[in-house]
Structure 1
Amino acid sequence: NADNVKQWGFIKREIFIGLWVVIGLLTTLYLLGAFRKKGMPRQKFSPLRILFIALFGAITLYLMPGLTNTKFANLKLLSGFPPPVSYSVYPHHVLHAKGVKPIVNDLEAALEKGRVENKPVLIDFTGWACVNCRRMEEKVWTNHVVDSLMRTEFVVVSLYVDERRKLPLTERISFTTSSGQEENIVTVGDKWTAFQKENFGAVSQPQYAILSPEKIALTKTKFYTPKAGEFIEWLECGLEAFKK
């Protein structure tokens, strides 16, 4: 998470998965007795040991496609655990190329695009270290109906509340919140955290909001929703409100 938040690029998705593949492989070989000292008698495998060999072997085999630049690299059972597909060693990962491509940390650009294309704006309050955000992106956003709606009917913008990049000096401000507290806006993440809290009354991620290009809320916000059907219903509700 620290590497992802800081965007250092040291432990990208495939490197992270590769480390676990090595750990799983070495553990499996150890349990099989591959590293026993010379002269030591071969021991009979107990049922428990056989179970662990099968478990670690299966996990290792499941992880291996995650090292590839193919459609099999998704690893949906582990969604949210490894870094996202967008944080990959491959410049153009197959999975990332086919999916939703949000505008990142630029709400005004999204609103302007919404005005030009006459589309509602779908705000995705997210975080580099947000596990449930990755689960939504890898399990729900990849649903063919959700994917089609988000790519063709909405302008999607992802606002990262834990973005550590500093704002230009001219954009750093101190302000009084609606609850009367003084807060300083120094980083991009500070800006989106304050925007989310003041306008949508929450500080948890993911949170989704649908606005018109004139910044009018079209429906209630949505939080983590692992069922694609519920998310589709919410998207269609916002789209219908926009077209009225």
Structure 2
Amino acid sequence: MQVSACARSVQLALCCFTTSKRSSRDDFKISRGAAARGKAMDFEWGTSASSLSPAAGDDDDGEPGSGDEDVLTSLGASYRAWRAYSREKRAHEYTKTRLVELIKRESALTKQLARLGGTVEGIECALMKLEDLKSAQVVLEGRYDAAVTGQAAREDLALELETVQRQCQLHTDRLHEAEAAASRWKSQYQQALPELACSNLEKERLTGELRKVKKTAVLLLNRQYVQLETMSKASQIPRSTGHLKVETKARSFSNVEII
């Protein structure tokens, strides 16, 4: 239920009217009025007593000055009573004026309520519902803020997830490239295996031939040194140093390991 601003102002005016407290000035004026009424009553009693004072003077023994004092006393009481009456009258006029204003305000508010088609109780209920709606709005705003914060956090997480997915895709592409290169190298290795086997066989064949050649060379060298030794013995040349050298070389060539 929605309440207009006019209805709210009317309800606030009614609340101010129904719950308004009297000011200290009003209390003072009321107390002054009560005091004035009391003094007016004293004035009436004083006037009645002054009307009876000649009878009392007749009972007096005829003392001089007693009547003057009674006149002065009655004049002072009359003046005080007149002042009290004036104060009470002013307070009464003020109270009457304020009462008339309040009655006019009440009638105006009643007319406004009648024009709005509602009552004070209904407007109060509407205002209470409006306050409940405001409190619910505050709660919903808090929930909305929390939801917005959560949405922002989810968006941040989505961006981070997208970044991670891009990095993962990049690493996956690199992995695929590496696998393709590995498969290519593997195929090349498979293709090179027969050539490697052929080269190994050729190496073994060449190694065998090299052994034969070395063995043949060693045999030829041994034969040559043996021939040289026999020739030197036949010529009987006393060359012990040369003989030792020849023998040493022959021994060294005979001790050559054939690979």
Normalising by the smaller structure, the TM-score range is: under 0.3
- Identify, as 1 or 2, the structure richer in helix: 2
- Identify, as 1 or 2, the structure richer in strand: 1
When the two structures are superposed, what TM-score results if normalisation uses the length of structure 2? 0.21
When the two structures are superposed, what TM-score results if normalisation uses the length of structure 1? 0.22
Question: Highest Rg: 1 or 2?
Answer: 2
